[in-house]
Amino acid sequence: MKSYNPTSPGSRQKTTVDFSMLSKQAPQKSLLKRLKTHAGRNSAGRITVRHQGGGHKKLYRLTDFKQLKLDIPGRVEGIEYDPYRAAFLALVVYPDGARAYILAAEGMKAGDVVLSSEKADIKVGNRMRLKNIVIGTEVHNIEMQPNNGGIIVRSAGSRAIVLAHEEGYTNLELPSKEVRRILWDSFASVGQVSNAEHSLTSLGKAGRSRWLGIRPTVRGTAMNPVDHPYGGGEGVQPRGTRKPKTMWGKVTGGRKTRNKKKWSNKLIVKRHKGIR
Protein backbone atom coordinates (compact mmCIF):
# COMPACT_ATOMS: atom_id res chain seq x y z
CA MET A 1 0.00 0.00 0.00
CA LYS A 2 1.05 3.58 -0.62
CA SER A 3 0.43 6.36 1.91
CA TYR A 4 0.83 10.12 1.46
CA ASN A 5 2.23 13.02 3.43
CA PRO A 6 -0.57 15.05 5.05
CA THR A 7 -0.12 18.10 2.83
CA SER A 8 -3.93 18.52 2.75
CA PRO A 9 -6.92 17.13 4.71
CA GLY A 10 -7.72 14.85 1.77
CA SER A 11 -4.28 13.24 1.73
CA ARG A 12 -3.97 12.75 5.49
CA GLN A 13 -5.89 9.45 5.59
CA LYS A 14 -5.52 8.52 1.91
CA THR A 15 -4.02 5.15 1.06
CA THR A 16 -3.85 3.61 -2.40
CA VAL A 17 -2.56 0.42 -3.94
CA ASP A 18 1.03 0.66 -5.15
CA PHE A 19 0.73 0.51 -8.95
CA SER A 20 4.47 0.38 -9.57
CA MET A 21 4.20 -3.23 -10.83
CA LEU A 22 1.84 -2.24 -13.66
CA SER A 23 3.00 -1.82 -17.23
CA LYS A 24 3.63 1.68 -18.54
CA GLN A 25 2.24 0.95 -22.01
CA ALA A 26 -1.11 2.29 -23.23
CA PRO A 27 -4.05 -0.16 -23.26
CA GLN A 28 -4.60 -2.31 -26.38
CA LYS A 29 -6.76 -0.08 -28.59
CA SER A 30 -8.51 -2.97 -30.38
CA LEU A 31 -9.75 -4.29 -27.02
CA LEU A 32 -11.31 -1.02 -25.82
CA LYS A 33 -14.99 -0.14 -25.95
CA ARG A 34 -17.03 2.86 -24.79
CA LEU A 35 -19.98 1.78 -22.64
CA LYS A 36 -23.03 3.97 -22.32
CA THR A 37 -23.61 5.01 -18.71
CA HIS A 38 -27.13 4.69 -17.32
CA ALA A 39 -26.47 6.10 -13.82
CA GLY A 40 -28.57 3.42 -12.13
CA ARG A 41 -31.66 3.98 -14.29
CA ASN A 42 -33.83 1.39 -16.04
CA SER A 43 -35.29 1.50 -19.56
CA ALA A 44 -38.05 3.84 -18.34
CA GLY A 45 -35.50 6.32 -17.00
CA ARG A 46 -36.38 5.68 -13.35
CA ILE A 47 -33.64 5.27 -10.74
CA THR A 48 -33.49 1.62 -9.69
CA VAL A 49 -30.03 1.73 -8.07
CA ARG A 50 -29.38 4.80 -5.97
CA HIS A 51 -26.12 6.72 -5.50
CA GLN A 52 -24.78 6.26 -9.02
CA GLY A 53 -23.81 8.93 -11.52
CA GLY A 54 -21.00 11.16 -12.70
CA GLY A 55 -17.45 9.91 -12.45
CA HIS A 56 -14.42 10.13 -14.69
CA LYS A 57 -14.66 9.00 -18.30
CA LYS A 58 -13.41 5.45 -18.84
CA LEU A 59 -13.16 2.75 -21.48
CA TYR A 60 -14.14 -0.88 -20.97
CA ARG A 61 -11.50 -3.54 -21.62
CA LEU A 62 -12.97 -6.51 -23.51
CA THR A 63 -11.97 -9.35 -21.19
CA ASP A 64 -11.75 -13.02 -22.16
CA PHE A 65 -13.40 -14.99 -19.34
CA LYS A 66 -13.59 -18.20 -21.43
CA GLN A 67 -9.98 -18.59 -22.62
CA LEU A 68 -10.94 -21.29 -25.14
CA LYS A 69 -7.65 -21.17 -27.08
CA LEU A 70 -6.84 -24.66 -25.80
CA ASP A 71 -3.28 -26.01 -25.76
CA ILE A 72 -1.92 -22.75 -27.18
CA PRO A 73 0.53 -21.05 -24.78
CA GLY A 74 0.16 -17.33 -24.36
CA ARG A 75 2.82 -14.88 -23.18
CA VAL A 76 1.92 -12.13 -20.72
CA GLU A 77 2.93 -8.80 -22.27
CA GLY A 78 2.02 -6.73 -19.24
CA ILE A 79 -0.21 -6.24 -16.20
CA GLU A 80 -2.65 -3.34 -16.57
CA TYR A 81 -5.13 -1.34 -14.51
CA ASP A 82 -8.84 -1.74 -15.31
CA PRO A 83 -11.18 1.15 -14.38
CA TYR A 84 -14.21 -1.18 -14.44
CA ARG A 85 -12.96 -3.66 -11.82
CA ALA A 86 -10.80 -3.86 -8.72
CA ALA A 87 -8.58 -6.64 -10.08
CA PHE A 88 -5.76 -6.10 -12.58
CA LEU A 89 -5.79 -7.44 -16.14
CA ALA A 90 -3.05 -9.30 -17.97
CA LEU A 91 -2.54 -8.63 -21.69
CA VAL A 92 -1.74 -11.99 -23.31
CA VAL A 93 -0.32 -12.44 -26.83
CA TYR A 94 -0.61 -15.80 -28.63
CA PRO A 95 1.70 -17.26 -31.32
CA ASP A 96 -0.74 -16.25 -34.09
CA GLY A 97 -0.47 -12.60 -32.97
CA ALA A 98 -3.92 -12.44 -31.35
CA ARG A 99 -4.13 -10.52 -28.08
CA ALA A 100 -6.61 -10.82 -25.23
CA TYR A 101 -7.16 -9.46 -21.73
CA ILE A 102 -7.54 -12.03 -18.95
CA LEU A 103 -7.87 -11.64 -15.20
CA ALA A 104 -4.39 -11.36 -13.72
CA ALA A 105 -3.57 -13.76 -10.90
CA GLU A 106 -1.58 -12.73 -7.84
CA GLY A 107 2.12 -13.05 -8.64
CA MET A 108 1.68 -12.96 -12.42
CA LYS A 109 4.16 -10.72 -14.24
CA ALA A 110 5.23 -9.76 -17.74
CA GLY A 111 7.01 -12.57 -19.54
CA ASP A 112 5.08 -15.40 -17.86
CA VAL A 113 3.55 -18.09 -20.06
CA VAL A 114 -0.05 -19.15 -19.41
CA LEU A 115 -1.84 -22.15 -20.86
CA SER A 116 -5.50 -23.11 -21.15
CA SER A 117 -5.95 -26.84 -21.59
CA GLU A 118 -8.02 -29.87 -20.53
CA LYS A 119 -5.15 -30.70 -18.19
CA ALA A 120 -2.15 -28.48 -17.53
CA ASP A 121 0.53 -27.93 -14.90
CA ILE A 122 -0.69 -26.55 -11.56
CA LYS A 123 0.88 -23.16 -12.18
CA VAL A 124 -0.44 -19.68 -11.40
CA GLY A 125 -2.41 -18.40 -14.39
CA ASN A 126 -2.98 -21.76 -16.08
CA ARG A 127 -6.58 -22.77 -16.80
CA MET A 128 -8.05 -26.28 -16.89
CA ARG A 129 -11.03 -28.49 -16.05
CA LEU A 130 -11.86 -28.63 -12.34
CA LYS A 131 -11.59 -32.44 -12.30
CA ASN A 132 -7.90 -32.17 -13.24
CA ILE A 133 -6.99 -29.70 -10.47
CA VAL A 134 -5.32 -31.11 -7.35
CA ILE A 135 -7.27 -30.94 -4.08
CA GLY A 136 -6.19 -27.96 -1.97
CA THR A 137 -5.41 -25.73 -4.97
CA GLU A 138 -6.60 -22.11 -5.02
CA VAL A 139 -8.66 -21.23 -8.12
CA HIS A 140 -10.56 -18.25 -9.54
CA ASN A 141 -12.66 -17.20 -12.58
CA ILE A 142 -14.77 -20.36 -12.27
CA GLU A 143 -17.46 -21.45 -14.71
CA MET A 144 -20.90 -22.53 -13.50
CA GLN A 145 -21.60 -24.32 -16.79
CA PRO A 146 -18.80 -25.85 -18.91
CA ASN A 147 -17.44 -23.57 -21.67
CA ASN A 148 -19.79 -20.69 -20.73
CA GLY A 149 -17.01 -18.52 -19.26
CA GLY A 150 -16.04 -17.80 -15.67
CA ILE A 151 -18.66 -15.90 -13.67
CA ILE A 152 -17.74 -16.42 -10.00
CA VAL A 153 -14.65 -15.61 -7.90
CA ARG A 154 -13.45 -12.73 -10.08
CA SER A 155 -13.07 -9.82 -7.63
CA ALA A 156 -9.72 -8.53 -6.36
CA GLY A 157 -7.98 -10.86 -3.93
CA SER A 158 -10.66 -13.57 -4.02
CA ARG A 159 -10.04 -17.29 -4.43
CA ALA A 160 -11.83 -20.59 -3.98
CA ILE A 161 -10.28 -23.81 -2.69
CA VAL A 162 -10.76 -27.23 -4.29
CA LEU A 163 -11.95 -29.61 -1.55
CA ALA A 164 -13.03 -32.82 -3.30
CA HIS A 165 -14.02 -34.51 -6.57
CA GLU A 166 -16.99 -36.89 -6.58
CA GLU A 167 -19.79 -38.08 -8.86
CA GLY A 168 -19.18 -35.55 -11.64
CA TYR A 169 -18.93 -32.57 -9.29
CA THR A 170 -16.11 -30.67 -7.60
CA ASN A 171 -16.63 -29.31 -4.09
CA LEU A 172 -15.32 -25.75 -3.76
CA GLU A 173 -14.97 -23.56 -0.70
CA LEU A 174 -15.96 -20.12 -1.96
CA PRO A 175 -14.65 -16.81 -0.53
CA SER A 176 -17.80 -16.59 1.66
CA LYS A 177 -16.83 -19.99 3.18
CA GLU A 178 -19.83 -21.56 1.49
CA VAL A 179 -19.07 -25.04 0.15
CA ARG A 180 -20.70 -25.63 -3.23
CA ARG A 181 -20.72 -28.40 -5.82
CA ILE A 182 -19.87 -27.38 -9.40
CA LEU A 183 -19.73 -29.60 -12.49
CA TRP A 184 -16.17 -30.87 -12.73
CA ASP A 185 -16.03 -30.31 -16.50
CA SER A 186 -16.13 -26.55 -15.85
CA PHE A 187 -12.93 -24.56 -16.34
CA ALA A 188 -11.15 -22.62 -13.59
CA SER A 189 -7.89 -20.67 -13.42
CA VAL A 190 -5.19 -21.52 -10.89
CA GLY A 191 -4.26 -18.95 -8.25
CA GLN A 192 -5.75 -15.99 -6.43
CA VAL A 193 -7.10 -12.92 -8.21
CA SER A 194 -4.61 -10.03 -8.27
CA ASN A 195 -4.69 -6.80 -6.22
CA ALA A 196 -5.46 -8.46 -2.88
CA GLU A 197 -4.66 -5.16 -1.09
CA HIS A 198 -7.61 -3.40 -2.73
CA SER A 199 -9.74 -3.82 0.43
CA LEU A 200 -7.21 -1.71 2.40
CA THR A 201 -7.76 1.36 0.20
CA SER A 202 -8.88 4.55 1.97
CA LEU A 203 -10.32 7.18 -0.38
CA GLY A 204 -9.34 10.05 1.90
CA LYS A 205 -11.92 12.54 0.64
CA ALA A 206 -15.43 12.69 -0.78
CA GLY A 207 -14.17 13.84 -4.17
CA ARG A 208 -12.50 10.50 -4.89
CA SER A 209 -15.89 8.80 -4.48
CA ARG A 210 -17.33 11.18 -7.04
CA TRP A 211 -14.49 10.37 -9.46
CA LEU A 212 -15.53 6.72 -9.14
CA GLY A 213 -19.14 7.51 -10.02
CA ILE A 214 -20.47 7.13 -6.46
CA ARG A 215 -22.94 9.81 -5.33
CA PRO A 216 -23.54 10.70 -1.67
CA THR A 217 -25.63 8.52 0.65
CA VAL A 218 -27.97 10.33 3.05
CA ARG A 219 -28.71 8.72 6.44
CA GLY A 220 -32.30 7.67 6.96
CA THR A 221 -32.42 9.34 10.38
CA ALA A 222 -31.58 12.67 8.73
CA MET A 223 -34.66 12.49 6.49
CA ASN A 224 -38.28 13.49 7.06
CA PRO A 225 -40.87 10.90 8.17
CA VAL A 226 -42.39 10.89 4.67
CA ASP A 227 -39.06 9.84 3.13
CA HIS A 228 -37.85 7.08 5.48
CA PRO A 229 -39.09 4.97 8.43
CA TYR A 230 -36.21 6.38 10.51
CA GLY A 231 -36.99 10.02 9.66
CA GLY A 232 -38.35 12.82 11.79
CA GLY A 233 -37.84 13.93 15.38
CA GLU A 234 -35.87 16.74 16.96
CA GLY A 235 -32.11 16.26 16.95
CA VAL A 236 -30.70 12.74 17.19
CA GLN A 237 -33.48 10.19 17.64
CA PRO A 238 -33.45 6.40 18.03
CA ARG A 239 -34.60 4.26 15.14
CA GLY A 240 -38.16 3.94 16.45
CA THR A 241 -38.77 0.57 14.79
CA ARG A 242 -37.92 -2.84 16.15
CA LYS A 243 -36.36 -4.32 13.02
CA PRO A 244 -34.03 -2.47 10.64
CA LYS A 245 -35.82 -1.43 7.46
CA THR A 246 -35.09 0.03 4.08
CA MET A 247 -36.50 3.38 3.02
CA TRP A 248 -39.44 1.45 1.53
CA GLY A 249 -40.25 -0.23 4.85
CA LYS A 250 -38.90 -3.67 3.91
CA VAL A 251 -37.17 -5.63 6.68
CA THR A 252 -33.41 -5.94 6.12
CA GLY A 253 -30.32 -6.96 8.05
CA GLY A 254 -31.03 -10.45 9.35
CA ARG A 255 -33.81 -11.68 7.07
CA LYS A 256 -33.13 -14.60 4.74
CA THR A 257 -33.68 -13.61 1.12
CA ARG A 258 -32.75 -16.78 -0.78
CA ASN A 259 -35.68 -18.69 -2.31
CA LYS A 260 -36.17 -21.95 -0.36
CA LYS A 261 -37.28 -23.67 -3.57
CA LYS A 262 -34.36 -22.54 -5.72
CA TRP A 263 -33.18 -25.48 -7.84
CA SER A 264 -29.50 -24.99 -7.03
CA ASN A 265 -30.03 -25.37 -3.25
CA LYS A 266 -29.19 -29.06 -3.67
CA LEU A 267 -25.70 -28.10 -4.85
CA ILE A 268 -24.86 -26.23 -1.64
CA VAL A 269 -23.06 -28.54 0.79
CA LYS A 270 -22.53 -25.95 3.54
CA ARG A 271 -24.05 -22.49 3.82
CA HIS A 272 -21.84 -19.45 4.21
CA LYS A 273 -21.25 -17.72 7.55
CA GLY A 274 -24.29 -16.07 9.04
CA ILE A 275 -26.78 -18.60 7.60
CA ARG A 276 -27.87 -21.51 9.76
Tell me what the pLDDT averaged over the chain comes to.
Answer: 93
Quick check: helix, strand or coil at residue 233? coil
What range does the domain containing 128 cover? 17-198
- Note the pLDDT tens digit of each residue in 40-52: 999 999 999 999 9
- Note the pLDDT tens digit of each residue in 52-109: 999 999 999 999 999 999 999 999 999 999 999 999 999 999 999 999 999 999 999 9
Interatomic CA distance for residues 230 and 244, integer angstroms: 9
Percent of the chain at pLDDT > 90 equals: 88
Residue 179 maps to a domain = yes
Question: Is residue 257 scored above 50 in pLDDT?
Answer: yes
Residue 71 maps to a domain = yes
Question: Is residue 115 scored above 80 in pLDDT?
Answer: yes
| DSSP string across 16-29 | E--GGGS--SPP-G
Interatomic CA distance for residues 57 and 50, integer angstroms: 20
Residue 67 maps to a domain = yes
Contact 93, 99 (CB under 8 A): yes
Mean pLDDT of 179-201: 94
Interatomic CA distance for residues 161 and 132, integer angstroms: 14
Q: Which residues pair with 15 in a beta bridge?
A: 3, 202
Mean pLDDT of 134-144: 95
pTM for this one? 0.89
Percent of the chain at pLDDT > 70 equals: 99
In this prediction, residue 272 carries a pLDDT of: 84
- Note the pLDDT tens digit of each residue in 219-237: 999 999 999 999 999 989 9
> Which amino acid is present at 237?
Q
Instruction: Output the domain CATH number for residue 90.
Output: 2.40.50.140
Residue 251 maps to a domain = no
Q: Which of 240, 209, 210 is nearest to 225 (CA)?
A: 240
Question: Is residue 274 scored above 90 in pLDDT?
Answer: no
Residue 11 maps to a domain = no
Interatomic CA distance for residues 254 and 208, integer angstroms: 31
Query: What is the Cα Rg of the chain in Å?
Result: 22
In this prediction, residue 276 carries a pLDDT of: 47
What are the CA-CA distances from residue 167 to residues 112, 162, 170 (Å)? 35, 15, 8
Interatomic CA distance for residues 150 and 28, integer angstroms: 22
Residue 78 maps to a domain = yes
User: What is the b/e burial string over 80-97, where b = at least 16 CB atoms within 10 angstroms of the residue's CB?
Assistant: bebeebbbbbbbbeeeee
Contact 180, 109 (CB under 8 A): no
Interatomic CA distance for residues 248 and 250, integer angstroms: 6
Q: What domain count does the chain have?
A: 1
DSSP H or E segment with residue 163: strand 160-166
Residue 93 maps to a domain = yes
Residue 83 maps to a domain = yes
